[in-house]
Structure 1
Amino acid sequence: MQVANKPRWIIVGLIVAVMSVFAARSALALQRVTSQDYTLQVSHLAQLPGVPWGMAWLNRHTLIISLRHGELLSLRLDKLSAQQPAWQKITGLPAVWARGQGGLLDVVKGPDGWFYFTYSKPQQGQGVTALAKAQLLQDELGKVSIAFWQELFVSDSASDTNRHYGSRIAFDKQHLYFSIGDRGVRENGQNTLNHAGSIVRLNFDGSIPSDNPFVGNSQFADAIYSYGHRNPQGLAYDELKQRLWAIEHGPRGGDELNLIEAGANYGWPITSHGKEYWGPLKVGEAETMEGINSPRTVYVPSIAPGSLLLYQAKAFSQWQGNLFTGALKLQHLNRIVLDEQGNAIAEERLLSELNQRIRALSVGPQGLLYFTTDSGNLYQLSPVN
């Protein structure tokens, strides 16, 4: 009776508070699933306000997350609380073309300690894939700020569509690689005078390495490292074996895992394992062709890969050297086992029971796996002792 006599706004406030506490508690609840090698503990850590596209670690407790609509967040994993959101906004970003598949995309901490970003930049009424770097500074209260933002590379990739921006970043010890999709224009895959449909290779300052495969060739843009790509949304560099992996979306079927070689052509749209969206006809002239590098594995039907990660940590010792990709369409985490020559010899599909479009992947300081979903969820995956 006392509650019924309270003003309506107080009752609403009490309901919201109870729901918030319940949501925060359930966010830390654990779910156990099994794999071929482990019993896995899945922890839901946070609900984020948008599509979390990329992740990078500022330090062992603070995770940096890019949201596709154009915001950057910091999240203190040691300060998860039922009373307030776990994340804080980081200000100071440039204008972002957040339309269609464009927006604020990848964020990666480079070997030099700088944070590198890819995003779609507004340019003359269209979006182009761009690369920048900045320092991220954290004060004694945990607040993160951007310093020394530097735009490094603006690609020649404009189109009148808002599709296929790429765009992931990977590093070797001296260079940066990042992927650019064909921008919804198939001919771009073989148009080597622009950057669309390619993986580019740069120095850390955005300049073009003198040993890039097409430097000095008037038929190619100097930044191109490989071409013939449709929409590579996953890149991973294997430091131990010194090789670069990419995974990309096919049209309807035909997602490809590729081992990237300098100067190689990966075929799109001349070769493809996929079909036209409007009918049963295959895309391209053939599935394979002389002079075109074939994928190490193909997904038919499409899984729609959203990222790529090479696992080398110790927490999952039996998974060292495996590749992981998030699946958007088929909603699972895909584990790929490689042999010494880089052939995909086995795979395992995990976490399909979550029914989530898995987007970004990251390995934490303790070797645990972290992943985000397009519905804004952040999860931690750990082995059960």
Structure 2
Amino acid sequence: MARLPDRADRRSVLRATAGVTGIAGLSALAGCLGGAGDGSDGDDTDGNGEDSPPDDGADVDYAVETVADGFENPWGLTFLPDDGRLLVTERPGRLSLVDPADGAVAGVAGAPEVFAEGQGGLLDVAVHPDYPDDSRIYLTYSATSGDERGATTHVGAGRLSLDGGGAPALDGFEAIRVAEPFREGANHFGSRATFGPDGALFVTVGDRRDMNFGPDHVSQDRSTELGATLRLTPDGDAHPENPFVDDSDAADAIYSYGHRNPQAMAVRPETGAIWQCEHGEEDGDEINVVERGGNYGWPIATEACRYGTDDPLAPPHDDRDDVTGPIHYWRCGSEGFPPSGAVFYDGDAFPEWRGDLFAGTLAAQYLGRFTVEGAGVEGASATERDPLLDGREWRMRAIAVEPATGHLYVAVDAGDAPIARIVPD
């Protein structure tokens, strides 16, 4: 399991330039929009480690442009296929459609009411893989039960209407999956959503910050859908080929479990595998290749320490033979890589980056790039390379690749935030 190079070393070898241009000509992109919190629970600490790996030889100059600004804690990004426009969620509960050509922003009616407290609110967005033939748009969000049972992660879908010359809208939006059980509190909802190569919908659900760090933790309890990756049909039902559908003591929607708070997920095009990045406790952040039925260890196996200490919270993954370990992690004392948002780069704008994994980091405030080799849990590896957008004091919340151009789009997590894009310089 690879460890992170020292962050000071990463800065010292940073080659990529960050010239600031933009549709709106906003020189504020130089770094004045960082630091606004989202009610995080203290996971979000800077990255640090040891033993910088050799560089991969990619010496890529890039520029940064403002696409649009004024967003309040944007959380999810996705492009509409064959359309070119970008859907953006904002945590307080707004959904917008952005035209990258001119920065025009249009509100989308029909988004659900959300529990917008702490880390909760309107979270990720995904498009049905057969869009526009199937115009369903999927949202993940936190919402309450209405009967004082607390809140939980929801998945909902509605059909995107762009016809008639009126404002865009989600028609017939409804919840199609509610992760049971509801719990009090406002942290650790997950929640990324992506379609796999077989058309199944994968959704991450956080552990709702269960502090019972033992074998009875919700992430180890397969009867709940917390601390798990769910695999669903497009209608929200449990996928019929899930690993525990014949187990009466397990939730049939679970694909993998033993997760803490995965806030990044992407499909690797070369293999079709699901990759995730998730938050540790005191450090212990992870990159995982997620496989059917896997137990990823939280909290009975972790590289994290207890908050405010150097004391290991549990044995490391390698000390147990009943859990699946990360392919890359940030050990306790490294100051971590609190992740949010990930994408595998497959565009034409930066051929040197094809096949690389990009992952945003929050408190460490840069865009990480990882070269990837091998396949599967046992054979895959990820090596972190030079950071992008370092020094701007931007919390990186979500990432997307523009299909037509290969430009990288980034949502900055702040109360008055831009959507930025990275283009060849």
TM-score range, shorter chain: 0.7 to 0.9
2:95 to 69, 72, 78: 72
Distance 1:65 1:134, change over 3 A: same
Alignment partner of 2:71: what SS?
coil
Question: Root-mean-square deviation (CA), in Å?
Answer: 2.0
- Structure-to-structure mapping, 1:215-364, within 5 angstroms: 215-288=245-318, 289-299=320-330, 300-341=334-375, 342-364=380-402
Mapped pair 1:127 → 2:151: yes
Give yes or no for contact 1:95–1:122 (8 Å, CA) kept in 2. Answer: no
Residues 176-204 of structure 1 show CA distances to partners (whole Å, capped at 9, x for unaligned) of 10000000114111111100000000111
Aligned-pair CA distance for 1:106: 0.1
- Name the counterpart of 2:423: 382
Give yes or no for contact 1:28–1:43 (8 Å, CA) kept in 2. Answer: no
Distance 2:402 2:139 in 1: 19
Q: Which amino acid aligns with 1:55?
A: L
Q: How many residues align?
A: 354
Higher strand share: 1
Distance 2:293 2:118 in 1: 30
2:60 to 38, 54, 78: 38
Question: Which stretch of structure 1 is more off in the superposition, 336-345 or 178-187?
Answer: 336-345
Distance 2:316 2:283 in 1: 14
Aligned-pair CA distance for 1:37: 2.8
Q: Which amino acid aligns with 1:169?
A: A
Aligned-pair CA distance for 1:381: 0.3
Residues 69-104 of structure 1 show CA distances to partners (whole Å, capped at 9, x for unaligned) of 111112222233xxxxx3222222222111110100
Q: Which amino acid aligns with 2:89?
A: S
- Name the counterpart of 1:175: 200
Q: Which amino acid aligns with 2:383?
A: I
Aligned-pair CA distance for 1:292: 0.7
Distance 1:55 1:142, change over 3 A: farther
2:130 to 90, 109, 112: 112
Alignment partner of 1:348: what SS?
coil
Aligned-pair CA distance for 1:140: 6.4
- Structure-to-structure mapping, 1:177-196, within 5 angstroms: 177-186=202-211, 187-196=217-226
Aligned-pair CA distance for 1:109: 1.3
Distance 2:97 2:27 in 1: 18
Aligned-pair CA distance for 1:30: 8.4
Alignment partner of 2:370: what SS?
strand
Distance 1:36 1:351 in 2: 16
Distance 1:36 1:239, change over 3 A: closer
- Name the counterpart of 1:27: 26
- Name the counterpart of 1:158: 182
Aligned-pair CA distance for 1:138: 2.0
Higher radius of gyration, 1 or 2? 1
Distance 1:215 1:63 in 2: 36
Distance 2:70 2:84 in 1: 17
Distance 1:346 1:277, change over 3 A: closer
TM-score, normalization: structure 1?
Answer: 0.87
Alignment partner of 1:354: what SS?
coil
- Residue segments in structure 1 that go unaligned for 5+ positions in a row: 1-22, 81-85
Aligned-pair CA distance for 1:64: 1.2
Give yes or no for contact 2:151–2:183 (8 Å, CA) kept in 1. Answer: yes
Percent identity among equivalent residues? Answer: 32
Aligned-pair CA distance for 1:354: 1.4
